[in-house]
């Protein structure tokens, strides 16, 4: 039996745990706030863990013999160095590929809310006011150009949905290589010439050393008048101060952010009150359906590991995700 440690953030059901056992695992369960050493004496013998990188960091060294760690998160970000130093011989697998659907639905939904001025009409409802005021100024996705930064699972899921609204969709990736589902692809070097054509900019790119502040003040300045920005991946890809100035000036029509420079966003952050900004607490990917997808991923990857096959979603630290 393979010794499996689960720091259960996911409320796995008894039948799901049974399915894992039947793959050849002996399970030790911890609540998210319990250290491995609080739950069992043989924590050093654990071979596989289902947990997040921050759980490992909090209890660094308590499970030194892990060979495989399956996470739900898609990005490793700045949690990397200390964990990779400690776990030199451990393979980490992300939940990458399970977030596309939920993030894309959120992204398109928020674009439509901004375009159709949902907040204005909610205000009318609260005032019991039957009014068309402003309606003729609302926008449609039809015929618009959408730039999606990132052409992976999330970016592609966004692209296919925007396409159904008759948008032209341009993807951005490292090499500008063509990706199915995008009308064309470009590199970051092309941003100054491409941004002026884009009505919607969707940020669905991992944060790595290379992408940090990809949308800095200078790059943002190339945005089309009235453009909309939606960020569903990570903070510190967009210069928040420049973004707020552009929302204030009306250069940007609106923005929706799920990720921020500092998380959790402090209660006294001015962002909460920023005009034309929708704030989401980094759970745009969290839905009932997400749970189904990562439980499926757990089972698939644990089955592969047990059979000696390579699981899905290996994190390559040198690449950054």
β-bridge mates for residue 200, sequence order: 146, 228
Task: By CB under 8 A, name the one of 89, 189, 209, 288 that touches a second copy.
Answer: 288
Axis-axis angle for helices 118-126, 100-115 (nearest 10): 70
164 binds a second copy (CB under 8 A): yes
Angstrom distances, CA of residue 77 to CA of 123, 179, 205, 284: 39, 25, 12, 18
125 belongs to the binding site for a second copy (CB under 8 A): yes
Q: Does 73 bind a second copy (CB under 8 A)?
A: no
263 part of the active site: yes
Among 186, 215, 202, 181, which residue's Cα sits nearest to residue 104? Answer: 202
Residue bearing tokens 């019991």 = 128
List the structure tokens of 127.
């005032």
Per-residue DSSP letters for 29-47? EE-TTS-HHHH-S-GGG--
Interactions with a second copy, residue window 230-259 (CB under 8 A): none
Q: Is 124 one of the binding residues for a second copy (CB under 8 A)?
A: yes
* Contact stretch for a second copy (CB under 8 A) within 67-75, 131-139, 203-211, 309-317: 131-139
168 binds a second copy (CB under 8 A): no
Query: What is the smallest separation between the CB atom of 137 and a second copy, expressed in angstroms?
Result: 6
Cβ-based neighbours of 114, under 8 Å, separated by 6 or more: 228, 253, 254, 255, 256, 276, 278
User: Which range, of 64-72, 242-250, 283-291, 308-316, touches a second copy by CB under 8 A?
Assistant: 283-291
Residue 131 interacts with a second copy (CB under 8 A): yes or no? yes
Tell me if 115 contacts a second copy by CB under 8 A: yes
Say how many residues make up the chain. Answer: 321
β strands within 163-302, DSSP E? 168-172, 184-186, 200-203, 227-231, 252-257, 277-279
- H-helix segments, 170-265: 191-194, 217-220, 240-249
Nearest to a second copy of 15, 142 (CB atom): 142
Residue indicated by tokens 């863990």: 49
Segment lying near a second copy (by CB under 8 A), choices 67-75, 82-90, 114-122, 237-245: 114-122
Is 137 one of the binding residues for a second copy (CB under 8 A)?
yes
**Nearest-CA neighbor of 90 among 37, 43, 48?**
48
CA R_g for the chain:
22
Select the residue interacting with a second copy from 212, 289, 309, 317 (CB under 8 A). 289
Q: Which of 1, 37, 78, 140 binds a second copy (CB under 8 A)?
A: 140
Q: Token pair of 55, please?
A: 């759980």
Report the site for a second copy in 86-105 (rule: CB under 8 A).
101-102, 105
Among residues 67, 91, 163, 304, which is the contact residue for a second copy, using CB under 8 A?
A: 163
The tokens describing 132, both together, are 């068309």
Looking at 17-25, 76-84, 115-123, 195-203, which segment touches a second copy (CB under 8 A)?
A: 115-123
218 is catalytic: no
Q: Is 297 a catalytic residue?
A: no
Give the nearer residue to a second copy in terms of CB position, either 219 or 269: 269
Catalytic site residue from 263, 309, 310, 319:
263
Q: How far apart are the first and last CA of the chain?
A: 31
Cα 173 → chain centroid: 16
How far apart (Å, rounded) are the C-alpha atoms in residues 273 and 237?
21
Kindly state whether residue 128 participates in binding a second copy, applying the rule CB under 8 A.
Answer: yes
Q: Which residues bind a second copy (CB under 8 A)?
A: 101-102, 105-106, 108-109, 112-113, 115-116, 118-119, 121-122, 124-125, 128-132, 135-143, 160-161, 163-166, 263-265, 267-269, 272, 278-281, 283, 286-291
Q: Which residues are catalytic?
A: 234, 263, 282
């Amino acid at each position: 039996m393979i010794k499996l440690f689960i720091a259960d953030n996911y409320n796995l059901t008894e039948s799901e745990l049974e399915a894992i056992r039947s793959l050849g695992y002996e399970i030790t369960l911890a609540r998210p706030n319990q250290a491995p050493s609080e739950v069992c004496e043989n924590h050093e013998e654990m071979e596989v863990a289902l947990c997040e990188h921050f759980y490992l960091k909090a209890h660094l060294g308590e499970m030194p013999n892990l060979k495989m760690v399956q996470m739900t998160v898609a990005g490793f970000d700045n949690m990397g160095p200390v964990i990779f130093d400690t776990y030199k011989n451990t393979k980490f697998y992300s939940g990458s590929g399970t977030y596309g659907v939920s993030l894309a639905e959120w992204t398109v939904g928020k674009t439509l809310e901004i375009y159709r001025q949902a907040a204005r009409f909610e205000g009318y409802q609260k005032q019991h006011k039957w009014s068309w005021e402003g309606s003729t100024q609302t926008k449609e996705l039809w015929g618009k150009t959408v730039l999606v930064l990132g052409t992976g699972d999330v970016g592609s899921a966004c692209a296919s949905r925007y396409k159904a609204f008759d948008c032209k969709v341009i993807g951005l990736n490292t090499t500008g290589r063509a990706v199915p589902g995008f009308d064309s692809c470009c590199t970051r070097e092309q941003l100054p010439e491409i941004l002026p054509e884009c009505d919607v900019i969707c940020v669905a790119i991992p944060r790595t050393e290379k992408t940090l502040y990809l949308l800095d003040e200078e790059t943002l300045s190339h945005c089309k008048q009235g453009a909309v920005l939606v960020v569903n991946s990570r903070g510190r890809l967009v210069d928040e101060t420049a973004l707020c100035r552009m929302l204030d000036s009306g250069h940007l029509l609106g923005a929706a952010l799920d990720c921020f420079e500092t998380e959790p966003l402090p209660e006294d952050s001015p962002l909460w009150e920023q005009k034309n900004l929708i704030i989401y607490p980094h759970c745009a990917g969290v839905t009932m359906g997400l749970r189904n997808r990562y439980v499926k991923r757990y089972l698939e990857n644990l089955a592969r590991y047990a059979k000696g096959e390579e699981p899905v979603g290996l994190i390559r630290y040198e690449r950054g995700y």
